């Protein structure tokens, strides 16, 4: 199975919130659909699919940690980190990546939404002009919401935190089919950063 085919199917799952496009059982394992229709993405399944592809996409990038919130995401080498200004940080940005030609970008925002939970944030999105295709997702065990902003050629994945903030990952341009494939990997890679405390707890449970 080619990398392009695998990534294309993953992109469809992530962007359109449906596993109906999955062609066979092996690829379906990468995105499970619950009884409520929520799509679940698992990074370990993506790793298995990538290993079976003609050329690995995962090897062409690395995980980036966001220490502010103990979360990490795989980022392709083609997206280079941009240094944030004080104004960027004041607006909630904790990371920004873009290609050398600035045609594609990914951003990470940690926004104070005054204690909104995910359902409340989703309700606000439904009332927001220019927001479309709001879907429930579970990424590596964490509930989240994805949505599109067609006029900005952008798709977003949003998580609610215990601190009452929204952690939001945005990607553009989604009209680029090649970038859709990359975003599928990036979105499915979002997961908690392994802290020393978590590692110690896991070691104790194994013992």
- Res 26 pLDDT > 80: no
Whether the per-residue pLDDT at 34 is higher than 70: the answer is no
Does residue 101 form part of some domain? Answer: yes
> In this structure, what CATH number is given to the domain that contains residue 67?
3.40.1000.10
pLDDT tens digit sequence for 108-159: 999 988 888 999 999 999 999 999 999 999 999 999 999 999 999 999 999 9
pLDDT in tens, 40-73: 899 998 999 889 888 889 999 999 999 778 999 9
Full DSSP string of 132-188: EEEEEEEETTEEEEEEEEGGGTEEEEEEE-TTSEEEEEEEE-TT-HHHHHHHHHHHH
- Inside any domain, residue 163: yes
Residue 62 maps to a domain:
yes
Residue 205 belongs to some domain of the structure: no
The candidate with the shortest Cα–Cα distance to 48, out of 169, 195, 188, is: 188
Mean pLDDT of the chain: 80
Does residue 188 form part of some domain? yes
> Does residue 204 sit within a domain?
no
| Number of domains making up the chain | 1
Residue 104 is assigned to a structural domain of this protein: yes
Residue 140 lies in a domain: yes
- Domain residues for 22? 3-192
């Amino acid at each position: 199975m080619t990398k392009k085919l695998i990534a294309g199917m993953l992109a469809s799952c992530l962007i359109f919130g449906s596993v109906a496009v999955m062609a066979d059982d092996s690829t379906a394992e990468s995105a499970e659909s619950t009884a409520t229709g929520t799509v679940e993405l698992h990074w370990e399944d993506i790793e298995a699919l990538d290993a079976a592809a003609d050329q690995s996409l995962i090897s062409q990038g690395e995980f980036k940690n966001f220490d502010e919130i103990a979360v990490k995401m795989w980022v392709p080498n083609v997206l280079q980190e941009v240094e944030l200004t004080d104004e960027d940080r004041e607006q909630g940005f904790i990371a920004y990546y873009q290609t050398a030609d600035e045609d594609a970008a990914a951003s990470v925002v940690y926004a104070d939404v005054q204690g909104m939970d995910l359902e409340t944030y989703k309700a606000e999105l439904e009332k927001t002009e220019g927001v479309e295709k709001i879907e429930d997702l579970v990424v590596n065990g964490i509930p989240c919401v994805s949505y599109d902003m067609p006029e900005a050629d952008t798709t977003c994945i949003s998580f609610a935190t215990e601190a009452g903030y929204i952690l939001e990952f945005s990607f553009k341009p989604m009209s680029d089919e090649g970038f859709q494939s990359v975003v599928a990997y990036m979105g499915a890679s979002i997961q908690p950063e392994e802290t020393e405390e978590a590692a110690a707890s896991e070691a104790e449970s194994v013992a």
